[in-house]
Amino acid sequence: MNSNVLTSFSFQSKFVGGEKVELSERQEKIVHIVKENEPITGEKIAEQLDLSRATLRPDLSILTMAGYLDARPRVGYFFTGKSGTELLTEKVKKYKVSDFQSVPVVTKESVSVYEAISAMFLGDVGTLFIVDDNNCLSGVVSRKDLLRASIGNHDLNNLPVHIIMTRMPNITVCYQDDLLIETAKLLIDKQIDGLPVVTETEHGLRVIGRITKTNITTAFVDLILNE
Ligand code: ADP
């Protein structure tokens, strides 16, 4: 993405109903007029621009839907005081883990590395979560963990996955109510591809979902393309 696109995205555009909205010169003028004269009716804005109320109607509804203006019946338009960036931030902060999590692929500690590789292929995932006899999280195995074991001259059928996994308490987890943006930050800070979504039980952590870089990408696309 070039920097020009980013700049216009941050400050002068929002996405309404799946359509990218660049503020037109007239819309910029409307925002300015409202800022200076709020509350101001549609009629008065039209007068200042020497246009009819009907001509302005689409612009006013775009500016209201995009969150730049607030419309109050019988009072008029207000400037929300929010920039495109602020409106976007507000929306991102509403995204919860539960809105984007995927189904986890979980295996027992006793399975062999060979079986773990098969589970990874069959489940079409990049991270396997390993559980103990109580079905609680005990470890994580990544693609490279399995690759490393595979090139290590081991008998993969007789090497239990728990020998090579990253184990508790060194597992980074998240919860359904966490903000998605916080999990994105964890993935970056810890340099990992995925997190188990867990709930606490008396025996330990039960895995109920997963958040991966793919989920974060989906959220990003959703943010841009959906109102
Ligand atoms: P890969 O190793 O295929 O690049 P990751 O970057 O996700 O995949 O994993 C890097 C290392 O971190 C691996 O050894 C893996 O076991 C471990 N790991 C993966 N996910 C987690 C997690 N949620 N918490 C702690 N360690 C993890």
Q: What is the pLDDT of residues 58-102, one digit of tens each?
A: 999 999 988 889 998 888 999 987 777 777 888 888 999 999 999
The backbone torsions φ and ψ at residue 177, rounded to the nearest 5 degrees and listed phi first, read: -85, -5
Tell me what the pLDDT averaged over the chain comes to: 89
Nearest alpha carbon, ligand 1 atom 13: 142
Considering only 37-41, 179-183, 222-226, which range has the smallest mean pLDDT?
222-226
Nearest alpha carbon, ligand 1 atom 15: 142
Supply the pLDDT for residue 16: 47
Tokens of 90: 């507000």
Residue 196 binned pLDDT confidence (cut-offs 50, 70, 90)? very high
Rounded Cα distance, 99 and 199, in Å: 16
Give the long-range contacts of residues 220-226, CB within 8 A, separation 24 or more: 223/88, 223/91, 223/92, 223/95, 224/15, 225/15, 225/18, 226/15, 226/18
pTM for the model: 0.73
Is residue 93 within 6 Å of ligand 1 at its C-beta? no
Distance between Cα 5 and ligand 1 center (Å):
33
In this prediction, residues 11-34 reach a mean pLDDT of 70
Is residue 193 within 6 Å of ligand 1 at its C-beta? yes
In this prediction, residues 151-170 reach a mean pLDDT of 94
Considering only 30-39, 80-89, 137-146, 152-161, which range has the smallest mean pLDDT?
80-89
Distance between Cα 144 and ligand 1 center (Å):
8
What percent of the chain clears pLDDT 90, i.e. is strictly above it? 74
Residue type, 18: G
**Which atom, in ligand 1's list, is nearest to the CA of 170?**
25
Rounded Cα distance, 220 and 154, in Å: 41
Distance between Cα 74 and ligand 1 center (Å):
57
Residue 168 binned pLDDT confidence (cut-offs 50, 70, 90)? very high
Supply the pLDDT for residue 225: 80
Nearest alpha carbon, ligand 1 atom 25: 171
Is residue 170 within 6 Å of ligand 1 at its C-beta? yes
